[in-house]
Amino acid sequence: MKKHIVFIGGNIYKAGNIGDDAILLGIIKILEKLNSNFFYIIGTWEGKKIKLPINKKKYSCIDGCDFFEVAKAIKKSKYFIGGGGTLIGDELGFGFPLSYIAKLISIAKFFGKRVYFFAIGANKLKSQKGKKTLKRVYFLSDKIVLRDKQSFNICKEFIPKDKLATTADPAFLLERKETKRSFKIKKRFKKRRYFGVNTINESWYERRDYKIIIAKFCDYVSKKYGYIPVFFCNEIREGKFFDYRANKEVISYMGKESILLKPIYYSPEEMIDIISSFEFVLGMRMHVLIFASLTLTPFITVSRVDKVDNFMRQFGLEASCSIEKPILKNLKKDINDILNHKEKYKFQIKKGLAEAKKQAERNIFFFNLFLQKKKERFFKNFRLNYFSFKFLPKKEVIRVLFSEI
């Protein structure tokens, strides 16, 4: 069988975000089910190697931020896959993901490659520049598959519907995996009852109000139910923008006992296994909530962006409150309802999870259709307009054009 080289980028894998790496594992799991002989080139943080559940000879890693290396990889490849995650959104600025992805699409189209986006998320765009980029550059993609209906509705305003489809996040296809490390962590939680807490800073790092509310909520649960909060990171990078700093700040406002786990990288399957040991989870990252759902662990959230609200709706739920309006009484009400009707709540999660897994499996169908479609001739397919040409990293592309690969 002929080998097809595929470049998977868009998300910067192995950068410390366990959720992003979970998406990649889900994508590989889906692609390996197809009757094709793929070799994967994966854009990672600084070219770091990532462990995948396939033969090591079937993939390699390059620096996803080195556009010369990226251009070389795309030129070699048959397809460019935008690998899941929130790849449409400007709430954290225009540079990433919008401008970065626009560069990748422009490179792919310059070399006449077909472009497929794999169950990505879309948040409401706030800037005119962002909307313009979606309409004029993302439009060049051959297929954009979204992970929920809300993301689809955002994109259909700018991109023809025949280029769009809706499935679910590939991470829903993962399973828990107990390792020596996850077993050691879980062993600490056997003598008493614990609940998991994952908080974030990102662009809200200067705000104290929502973190104080979460601290009061943790003290309330400890006092009423005797549960101890365990603060953990799903994004392990150091610095004021990330989980560890947010977790430490919340703990500083608490009066009751708590545990703070170090920002150690656990594989997505290990993290799912660790979360399974909690009575419930308060998570602010979407993939923390996905991991909880995979083990039927009850979850609540303080929402920060559209994708968290979209996720909750998949399970017939709503966020307890948001960063903009943190309300303690809502958190108390929701957790009392969950802990007093735990089996009913677990049944609701199980039902939502079955549908999410079914939708995630549909990614196989859509990518298979994409593979079967014949490639158009280069010049007929070439639609790189002036706006998208501005995103082309020209020096890097010229180097690739005049170098042997």
Q: Read off the pLDDT of residues 55-80 as tens digits, 9 standing for 90 and up.
A: 999 999 999 999 999 999 999 999 99
| Residues whose CB falls within 8 Å of the CB of residue 290, separated by 6 or more in sequence, listed in order | 19, 22, 169, 171, 172, 311
pLDDT of 2 strictly over 80:
no
User: At residue 118, what are phi and psi to the nearest 5 degrees?
Assistant: -100, 95
The fold for domain 3-166+374-401 equals Rossmann fold (3.40.50)
- So what's the pLDDT on residue 375? 63
Domain ranges for the chain, please list them.
3-166+374-401, 180-355
Query: How high is the mean pLDDT of the chain?
Result: 94
% the chain with pLDDT above 70: 97
Going by pLDDT thresholds of 50, 70 and 90, the confidence category of residue 92 is confident
> Which residue is associated with the tokens 């089910």?
33
Q: What is the identity of the amino acid at 223?
A: K
Going by pLDDT thresholds of 50, 70 and 90, the confidence category of residue 188 is confident
Q: Read off the pLDDT of residues 107-163 as tens digits, 9 standing for 90 and up.
A: 999 999 999 999 999 999 999 999 999 999 999 999 999 999 999 999 999 999 999
CATH architecture of the domain covering 180-355: 3-Layer(aba) Sandwich (3.40)
Joined together, the tokens standing for residue 389 give 């040409």
Query: By C-alpha distance, which of 204, 247, 272 is closest to 19?
Result: 272
CA distance 272 to 288: 8
- So what's the pLDDT on residue 35? 75
> Which residue is associated with the tokens 């409401």?
124
CA distance 303 to 309: 6
Q: Which residue has the higher pLDDT, 3 or 57?
A: 57
For the chain, the maximum distance between any two Cα atoms, rounded to a whole number of angstroms, is 69
| Residues whose CB falls within 8 Å of the CB of residue 354, separated by 6 or more in sequence, listed in order | none
Q: Read off the pLDDT of residues 334-384 as tens digits, 9 standing for 90 and up.
A: 999 999 999 999 999 999 999 999 999 999 999 999 998 866 554 445 567
Between CA 104 and CA 109, with CA 108 as vertex, the angle to 5 degrees is: 120
Is residue 392 classed exposed, middle or buried when 0-12, 13-18 and 19+ CB atoms within 10 A define those classes?
buried
Report the SS3 class of residue 275: helix
Number of helical (H) and strand (E) elements in the chain, helices listed first: 16, 15
pTM: 0.95
User: At residue 40, what are phi and psi to the nearest 5 degrees?
Assistant: -100, 130
CA distance 274 to 196: 9
DSSP 86-143: EEE--TT-SIIIIIHHHHHHHHHHHTT-EEEEEEEEEPPP-SHHHHHHHHHTGGG-SE
What's the mean pLDDT in 255-281? 97
Is residue 226 classed exposed, middle or buried when 0-12, 13-18 and 19+ CB atoms within 10 A define those classes?
exposed
217 within 8 A of 251, measured Cβ to Cβ: no
CA distance 70 to 308: 31
Q: Is the peptide bond before 263 cis (omega within 30 degrees of 0)?
A: no
Per CATH, 3-166+374-401 and 180-355 having the same topology is answered: yes
pLDDT of 386 strictly over 90:
no
Beta strands in 147-263 (DSSP E): 164-166, 194-198, 228-231, 259-260
Q: Read off the pLDDT of residues 9-37 as tens digits, 9 standing for 90 and up.
A: 999 999 999 999 999 999 999 999 997 89
Q: What is the identity of the amino acid at 226?
A: G
Query: How many residues make up the chain in this entry?
Result: 405
- So what's the pLDDT on residue 373? 81
- So what's the pLDDT on residue 380? 46
Poorest-pLDDT segment among 180-184, 265-269, 377-381 = 377-381
Query: By C-alpha distance, which of 104, 60, 51 is closest to 81?
Result: 104
CA distance 245 to 17: 15
- So what's the pLDDT on residue 1? 61
Going by pLDDT thresholds of 50, 70 and 90, the confidence category of residue 170 is very high
Going by pLDDT thresholds of 50, 70 and 90, the confidence category of residue 196 is very high
